[in-house]
Structure 1
Amino acid sequence: MAIGAGMSCVKYLLFAFNLLFAITGLIILVVGARAEINAHPYVDLTDENFYTSAPMILIIVGLIVFIVAFFGCCGAVKENHCMIVTFSVFLLLIFVAELAVGIAGYVKHKDLETSIIKTLNASIAHYETDPKIQKNFDIIQTDLMCCGINGPEDWAANKLPIPASCCSGDKTVACTPASPDFHKDGCYPGILEAMKGMALVLGGVGLGIAVVQLLGVMFACFLARSIRSQYETV
């Protein structure tokens, strides 16, 4: 069914938007997957559930985006009112999900300091008895080239020997403060920076793409209203 010239322009803008929408879906998926991979073992050092759930939410949203983009493209090309309305509803739901992740990302990064220091202090004492805690500390101390929470003295304070991961060299040789490759800085500042960066990336992607998708909802609503009015005038 033919529509007016103005709405015809909206129709092609909506079709072009869906191509952009598919690209944003890929971006969301990649960002979510990277956050899911890079978050461990850092997420185990905070009791904030946001850092566990947010990457998975973005991955799911990224997959749904491709289905939604299909409805949008077909609805725009065929001028199908039902498909365009379905597209608008899905897009609006995705907008709300991304907006929630974005806002939570910016809010939660302010609560990290208390959460991380609390979890680190509670877990370091179990380094020798809990394989998961041991693995997390070893990965972080190796990756960030750090030792302990605020410094190497944290190990002695918990009556524990300095782990081999506090040194960068030969792991078969005992790691001591006299070792040439000994990590002298604590891990807390590096962990905090990594987690805050993750929160800001998740928040920025969520909010930024949500704004773009809100434009898609507006285009779809304009087109759906035009198509419906055409049917009503026949």
Structure 2
Amino acid sequence: MSRKQYRYKGAEVSCFVKYFLFAFNILFWLLGAAFLAIGLWAWAEKGVLSNLSAITDLGGFDPVWLFIVVGGVMFVLGFAGCIGALRENTFLLKFFSVFLGLIFFLELTAGILAFVFKDWIKDQLNLFINNNVKAYRDDIDLQNLIDFAQEYWSCCGAHGPNDWNMNIYFNCTDTNPSRERCGVPFSCCVKDPAEDIINTQCGYDVRRKEKELEWQRFIYTKGCVGQFEKWLQDNLIIVAGIFVGIALLQIFGICLAQNLVSDVKAVKASW
């Protein structure tokens, strides 16, 4: 046996690491592709592709962007990790591990800053919700997101039902011709368990009642900011566990990629 063959046998790429990283990333890649496809399809359905000026409209949050950005990042990372592992390409593997490490660092930084600047984050959350309350009827995806949040957390508006005065369709001004004037969206309504069909007009004229105590019979009177904070406190262990789990997956992926890079370099050095 030649010296070259003997040295090659002493350094080899771990099949377990290679194919485990490949399988891990192909799922990640396919999931990212699905997110990206959904986001682009929804974007095209809205006609944004034919109206490029809408891209610069930052007045309200468009949930479609969440699918596009998250899906795009997952797709690129999954592609790099999948092809890098399969082809033993050190450039793609290094790109995968560095990019994943950067995301982990940004998440860690964001978590620390969120803890340090809690009051500022709360103010930004208030501003975010208020801006999207104003844009409620402007985007169907945004509308569905707000309705889901208000139903899930049993809340109405950022701090209460009167926040809907900021919306041109729901405000109580005499000049407002809308039938929804002085009302709230149906997602603010207290649900009757006996009703199988959602009454989308249940919030009409609710805020015309003089006493706010009367509102409680028909709609949620607590704001979504307070309800979200309460939910976060009640589910702190679960939320923390999810973030720790995601962080461990990222660290595990980085370690696998670096281990595979080391194996490939060792094999190349033995040639």
Partner of 2:224: 187
Output aligned runs, 1:94-105, within 5 Å. Answer: 94-105=96-107
- Which fold has the larger relative contact order, with Cα–Cα distance below 8 Å and residues 6 or more apart in sequence? 1
Deviations 1:164-210 (A, max 9, x none): 01134532452353446x4444333539959x878776655434311
- The 1:99/1:50 distance shift into structure 2, 3 A limit, reads farther
Partner of 1:164: 186
Output aligned runs, 1:110-149, within 5 Å. Answer: 110-111=113-114, 113-128=122-137, 131=140, 133-149=142-158
Deviations 1:18-45 (A, max 9, x none): 111112213533665788779x9xxx64
For the 8 Å contact 1:101–1:203, the answer to whether it is kept is no
**Alpha-carbon deviation of 1:94?**
0.9
**Alpha-carbon deviation of 1:11?**
1.0
Partner of 2:250: 206
Amino acid at match of 1:147: C
Deviations 1:116-158 (A, max 9, x none): 3322222323334555543332232234443211333422576
For the 8 Å contact 2:84–2:91, the answer to whether it is kept is no
Output aligned runs, 1:29-68, within 5 Å. Answer: 29=29, 32=32, 45=61, 53-68=69-84
For the 8 Å contact 1:3–1:226, the answer to whether it is kept is no
Aligned CA RMSD, in angstroms, stands at 4.1
More helix by share: 1
C-alpha distance in 2, partners of 1:50/1:102? Answer: 18
**Alpha-carbon deviation of 1:108?**
3.0
Q: TM-score, normalised by structure 1?
A: 0.65
Corresponding residue to 2:202 among 174, 191, 196: 174
Q: How many residues align?
A: 203
For the 8 Å contact 2:93–2:257, the answer to whether it is kept is yes
Corresponding residue to 1:106 among 93, 96, 108: 108
Partner of 1:18: 18
Amino acid at match of 1:222: A
**Unaligned residue ranges in structure 1 (runs of 5+):** 73-86, 228-234
- The 1:178/1:113 distance shift into structure 2, 3 A limit, reads closer
Q: TM-score, normalised by structure 2?
A: 0.58
